[in-house]
Amino acid sequence: MAKVLIAGRIPESAISILKDGGLEIEVFDDSKALITKDELKGKVTDKDFLITPLSTKVDKDIIDAAPNLKLIANYGAGFNNIDTEYAKSKGIPVTNTPKVSTTSTAEVTCGLIVSIAHRIVEGDQLMRTTGFSGWAPLFFLGTELANKTLGIIGMGQIGQAVARRMKAFDMNIIYSGRHPLDSETERELGAKFVSFDELIKTADVVSPHIPATPDTHHMIGAEQFKQMKPTAFLINAARGPVIDETALLDALKNHEIAGAGLDVYEKEPEVADGFKSLKNVILTPHIGNATVEARDAMAEIVAKNTVIASKGGEPNYIVNK
C-alpha cells in the first residue's frame, strides 16, 4: 500500500478522500508546533507522497531523504517553500492549490483597506484602553475611499477580485503588470492599465497581488515609498518578500506614507518589533485564505491530486513541469 505523509493538520475531508483512495496515511498531528526539519526527514523516508503546508520548507535535504517520493502536494497557493527545480530534477511533480483562495484573500485585502483608512483597529484598541470622552467634530478622523485611487500590482484572479469589490466603494482602479487585461475585462472592473512607476506615484492605496520570485523581491522599497503620496496606504496580503520591510518601517516612521495593512511578512512568522509600536499599521497573522470554505477546498485539491498520482495519473496544478 502506498504511503502518504501529511506534514501538518489539515481538514478531515482530505483524510476521507485519501482513505477512499486506498492510501496509508501518517499525519504530523501537533496543534502547538510546526514539524521540524529533522522530524520531516525522519518521517518522509519511506513515503511515496508528501502533503505539506505552505509554512513547511521542503528543500534538497528533505527530497533526498525520500527516495520513493512521487509527488509533493503543497497545501497553499504559493510554493516558494519548496525547491521546485530540484524536485523536477528528481522527477517529482510539485502541485499547489490555486484559485480557491481568491475570494477569501480578496475579502481580507478589502477589509484591511477599509480598516486602515477608517482607523477601525486603532479605534478598537482605544475603546479597550483609555476610551473616549465623546463625539467631537475633529476627533479620530479617517479617510473616505470614495473617489480615491486603488493601485493594484498584478491583476490576476485575486487582483481582479479586489478591484471588483473596491469598485463598489466608488474607488478608481488602476493596475500594473506584465500585460494589460482585455478591454472587456477592463470595462467590467473600471480599471486602467498604467506603468508601475505611475501607479506608485498616483495611487492612494497600493496593493500588490504578485508571487514571491527573484524578480519581485523588494519590488516596493525605499525608492517607491519616497514616490508615494504621504497620504497613501500600503496593503500586503500577497507575499512578504515583495516589500522591503526595513524601508517600509522607515517610511512609516518618517511619515512618507500614511499607513499599512500587513497580512504577510518578509521573514514570516517573525514580525519586526518596530511595526508593533506604530498605531498606523494593522498586523494580521497570514489569514488571507483562513476560512472554512477556502481551507476545505484546498484540502480537496491536495488529497485528490495525491490519489490521482497514486493511480499513475497526472495531478492538477503542477508548478514545475
Strand order of the β-sheet with 3-6 is 24-27, 3-6, 49-53, 71-75, 94-95
- Rounded to 5 degrees, φ, ψ at 43 are -85, -25
Report how far residue 317's alpha carbon sits from residue 62's, in angstroms, rounded to the nearest whole number.
22
Contact 261, 287 (CB under 8 A): no
Question: Which triple of cell numbers denotes residue 305?
Answer: 491530486
Catalytic positions: 239, 268, 286
The single residue listed with the C-alpha cell 520570485 is 213
Using CA of residue 85, residue 83, residue 288, residue 232, what is the dihedral sign?
negative
DSSP track, 114-140: HHHHTTHHHHHHHHHTT--S---TTSS
Residue 179 CB: number of other CB atoms within 10 A?
Answer: 7
Q: Which contiguous run of DSSP H or E holds residue 207?
A: strand 205-208
CA distance 296 to 294: 6
**SS3 for 165?**
helix
Query: What 3-state class would DSSP assign to 191?
Result: strand
β-sheet bridge partners, residue 220: 243
Q: What's the 3-state SS for 29-76? A: CCCCCCCCHHHHHHHHCCCCEEEEECCCCECHHHHHCCCCCCEEEEEC
Range list of H helices, 118-206: 120-128, 157-167, 183-189, 196-202
